[in-house]
């Protein structure tokens, strides 16, 4: 089958069969399909869309374009499961969720990414830990998944290689905004990990990846249908990102916060609520708990016993980090040289937060990348971020700023202060952390 014929058929809005899609994606992976052809195909998909069968085939072809991890030879004593988030600000869920699920009997081979735009990246947070290696060899990765129950690493070149090429071309040809291409990119990498089940966290709000609540819902429904259609039971939680999930943002600061939650602290936080809800869904969907109440009991036991924190510590040490991070976090996670508060100009209640602006503020401080090759300063970020509905008085902090220098802090102070809208008490009711849960049976 000629590649140009596949492109022509999609250009003319003809549906493609699975063989055609797999042929095209194999060519993307092995280099026999050129960048111009990839761009033409992507533009045809943007303009004409894909039906559900095509989208499932594209996801499966992305998954199968490289290595698909298999676990049966390890004799695991529990299911293989994972979670993925569309990203946000102060979203350190993965750092807590992976070891928490491992402590409840799951095996979590979590392939994570770096920061993108205003959103923080799980790998960047973990690299704030001295010695942590996000690119271990396959044998070490597999042994940690078996013996510790969790390993959080970066994508290897052997997993879904077609996605890397396709995304690179989409990024420079104005073809990123296509639902089937987005879903195939997200799910192709995750399903290549050989999962028994997957739970997705799709953000909703002004700090979310998708521009509107309707778009987030559409993405969530597509992920459930396509993931399940590709053979992996998949559910989605729609969670709020109209304010940072944690009250901090920045790599080392978020590792500190993860350790705090794993010690059983911060149970009244939005971060805890979202992490607990995702963990509950994962345990029930994977058959590790019979229902939500059973899952809650198992999760409480794993936290209260210290087992979840122990799994995190073993993972960190197994991937080259210090064995006593949990006990000596202040020693290993260097603080920023300069801190200052961004204060409220007047009295009022926090009625809105420009979450994206806060995330971009962290990038400006050096805690994220403007360009792909930029080095990250893991020390910088924001803490003690005021929450929606919180009352502040004149001069009271809206957040604490952690910077490499006073000059760096002054450069973003105005931007960060302007991210908060103050008004009258009661004029805005903050959204619940969990907007909805979608499963295959919920789709019409």
Cα-based distances in Å from 104 to 63, 98, 192, 196? 28, 10, 23, 16
Cβ 235 vs Cβ 441: under 8 Å: no
Structure tokens at 82: 């994972």
Q: What residues are labeled active site?
A: 82-85, 122, 170, 185, 189-190
Longest CA pairwise span in the chain (Å): 69
Cα-based distances in Å from 86 to 10, 75, 78, 317: 28, 32, 26, 28
Compute CA distances 89 → 85, 134, 400, whole Å.
Answer: 11, 21, 15
Tens of each residue's pLDDT in the chain, 444 residues: 799 999 999 999 999 999 999 999 999 999 999 999 999 999 999 999 999 999 999 999 999 999 999 999 999 999 999 999 988 999 999 999 999 999 999 999 999 887 666 877 899 999 999 999 999 999 999 999 999 999 999 887 788 999 989 988 998 898 988 999 999 999 999 999 999 999 999 999 999 888 899 999 999 999 999 999 999 999 999 999 999 999 999 999 999 999 999 999 999 999 999 999 999 999 999 999 999 999 999 999 999 999 999 999 999 999 999 999 999 999 999 999 999 999 999 999 999 999 999 999 999 999 988 776 788 999 999 999 999 999 999 999 999 999 999 999 999 999 999 999 999 887 778 889 999 999 998 886
User: How far apart (Å, rounded) are the C-alpha atoms in residues 298 and 78?
Assistant: 15
Ordered by where they begin, the domains of the chain are: 3-49 (1.20.970.10), 72-328+435-442 (3.40.1030.10), 335-423 (3.90.1170.30)
């Amino acid at each position: 089958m000629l590649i140009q014929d596949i492109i022509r058929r999609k250009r003319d809005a003809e549906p493609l069969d699975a063989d055609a899609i797999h042929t095209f994606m194999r060519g993307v992976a092995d280099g026999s399909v050129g960048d111009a052809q990839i761009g033409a195909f992507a533009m045809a998909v943007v303009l004409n869309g894909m039906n559900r069968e095509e989208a499932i085939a594209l996801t499966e072809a992305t998954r199968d374009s490289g290595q698909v991890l298999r676990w049966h030879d390890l004799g695991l004593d529990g299911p293989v499961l994972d979670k993925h988030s569309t990203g946000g600000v102060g979203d350190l869920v993965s750092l807590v969720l992976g070891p928490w699920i491992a402590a409840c009997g799951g095996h979590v081979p979590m392939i994570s990414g770096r920061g993108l735009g205003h959103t923080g990246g799980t790998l960047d947070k973990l690299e704030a830990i001295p010695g942590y290696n996000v690119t271990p060899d396959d044998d070490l990765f597999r042994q940690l998944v078996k013996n510790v129950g969790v390993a959080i690493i970066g994508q290897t070149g052997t997993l879904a290689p077609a996605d890397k090429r396709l995304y690179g071309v989409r990024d420079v040809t104005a073809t990123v905004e296509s639902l089937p291409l987005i879903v195939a990119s997200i799910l192709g990498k995750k399903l290549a990990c050989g999962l028994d089940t997957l739970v997705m966290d799709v953000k909703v709000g002004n700090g979310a990846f998708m521009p509107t609540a309707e778009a987030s819902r559409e993405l969530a429904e597509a992920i459930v249908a396509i993931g399940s259609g590709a053979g992996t039971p998949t559910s989605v939680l729609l969670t709020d990102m109209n304010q940072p999930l944690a009250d901090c943002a920045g790599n080392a600061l978020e590792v500190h916060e993860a350790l705090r939650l794993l010690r059983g602290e911060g149970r009244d936080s939005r971060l805890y609520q979202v992490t607990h809800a995702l963990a509950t869904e994962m345990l029930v969907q994977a058959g590790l708990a019979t229902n939500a109440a059973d899952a809650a009991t198992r999760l409480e036991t794993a936290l209260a016993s210290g087992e979840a924190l122990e799994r995190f510590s073993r993972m960190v040490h197994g991937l080259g980090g210090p064995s006593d991070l949990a006990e000596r976090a202040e020693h290993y996670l260097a603080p920023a040289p300069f801190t200052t508060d961004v204060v409220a100009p007047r009295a009022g209640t926090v009625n809105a937060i420009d979450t994206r602006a806060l995330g971009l503020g962290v990038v400006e401080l050096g805690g994220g990348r403007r360009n792909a090759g930029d080095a990250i300063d893991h020390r910088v970020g924001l803490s003690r971020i005021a929450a929606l509905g919180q009352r502040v008085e004149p001069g009271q902090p809206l957040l604490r700023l952690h910077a490499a220098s006073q000059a760096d802090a002054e450069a973003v102070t105005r931007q960060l202060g302007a991210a908060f809208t103050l008004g009258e008490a009661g004029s805005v009711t903050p959204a619940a952390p969990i907007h909805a849960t979608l499963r295959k049976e919920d789709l019409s």
